[in-house]
Amino acid sequence: MKKFLAMLKGDKIIWMAVFVLAVLGSIEVYSCTSNLAFQYQGGNMLYYPMKHLFFVLLGFVMMFVFSWVPYKHHVKYTDILFWVFVALLGITLLLGPSTNDARRWFKIPLLDISFQPSDFAKLALVLYLAKMLALAQVEAENRRKYFMRSLAAIGIVCALVFPANFSTAMLIGLASLGMLFLGNFPTKWILGVVGAGLVAMLLFVAVVKVTGTHSRLNTWVSRVETFFSDDSSKKTGSDFQARQSLVAISQGGLFGKGVGNGPQINVIPHPYSDFIFASIAHEMGIVFVIIVILAYIVMFYRCVVIVRDVGTLFPALLVMGLLMNIMLQTLSNMFVAIGLMPVTGQPLPFVSMGGTSLISTGIALGVILNVSRYSGKKETLEEIEQDESEQEEIVDYPFMAG
């Protein structure tokens, strides 16, 4: 056991928090997929839980692998990774299979494997932005150039994700704005970006309304209108998911109905993914809801400590960018479940059933864990980077300089 734990590099508390989330998520996925198994797998109750466990293990494998890869190596491949995933987003938007009038999945020919490029594109975007923002500090005379490159990268990714997945595009945009603030750019530049983004979104909505070329827009508008509406009849007809989620949470009580015994699980749409937070509250009770929330808080706190202790700009920006993506997705899922925001369809990281989300979250956490090995000089550079050649100057530039 000691040898195994010694192989787990990086912040052990983050490892523990993720393990707790994965265990609770796997239990609830098993409980919530019985109807799905009955309808689509001939009653094979283990099909979806085993598939979920496979991707959970794959997520942990990604955490393990990337915790061993020195984050400085990522700088060399930043531009290539960014443009590869931009290309995949474009291909998916144009040629990907349509599900519910949205093209989100890229299918690898011959292998019959599908994944969502947006989950990996946001990781590539964080890496690219961390590099650009660090360069803006190192080369102060070219600050505006790197700001414009950052802006262009954010605009391209959000524009390609937006038509198929509005909520994901918004979360990517918010996380990117957070990185721009951390990059120490003038506030008026960032406010200009916010204004330009709002104008672009309004123009898109206006054009689609006039031309009627995007059927998903009506769904988005309906969800927002229903959320803010005071008309009870409109809410009764159009807010089924959110209402059933609140019913499930209210019935859970302190210790829940018991795993596998929650009647509301059969009523909530997607109780194993989009509304798994409500499912946990319903079957496990407020006690386990608090455990889930505490696990995310601990993860957030440990990442902030890593940023504080790492001392250099590039890894600090990298960790904060990855952390903001994870936490915004987490809050989005929870807020939808408790009725604080319109339905978005965002999974709960390392808890909801899924494939691409678990893998991409595992990669993000693995990178964070690797940075934590440098944080506060917990390990020497020689221990982490045996035979590593010198990297670009930006990875050693002091955090919050300039």
pLDDT tens digits, residue range 240-279?
A: 777 888 888 989 888 889 988 888 888 888 889 889 999 9
Q: Which two tokens stand for residue 107?
A: 């299918």
60 pLDDT tier (thresholds 50, 70, 90): very high
pLDDT of residue 101: 60
Alpha-carbon distances of 225 from 27, 301, 341, 351, rounded to whole Å: 35, 35, 11, 29
Q: Which residues pair with 106 in a beta bridge?
A: 115
Report the range of poorest mean pLDDT among 5-9, 64-68, 137-141: 5-9
28 pLDDT tier (thresholds 50, 70, 90): very high
Residues 6+ apart with CB under 8 A from 62: 359, 362, 363, 366
pLDDT above 50 (res 388): no
Whole-angstrom distance, CA of residue 139 vs CA of residue 394:
9
Domain ranges of the chain: 19-385
In the chain, pLDDT over 90 holds for what percent of residues? 42
Q: What is the DSSP letter of 44?
A: -
Mean pLDDT of the chain: 83
- Convert the pLDDT of each residue in 281-325 to its tens digit: 999 999 999 999 999 999 999 999 999 888 788 899 999 999 999
Whole-angstrom distance, CA of residue 178 vs CA of residue 339:
25
pLDDT of residue 212: 61
DSSP 3-state of 108 = strand
Mean pLDDT on 45-61: 93
In the chain, pLDDT over 70 holds for what percent of residues? 82
- Convert the pLDDT of each residue in 133-192 to its tens digit: 999 988 888 899 999 999 999 999 998 988 888 889 899 999 999 999 888 888 888 888
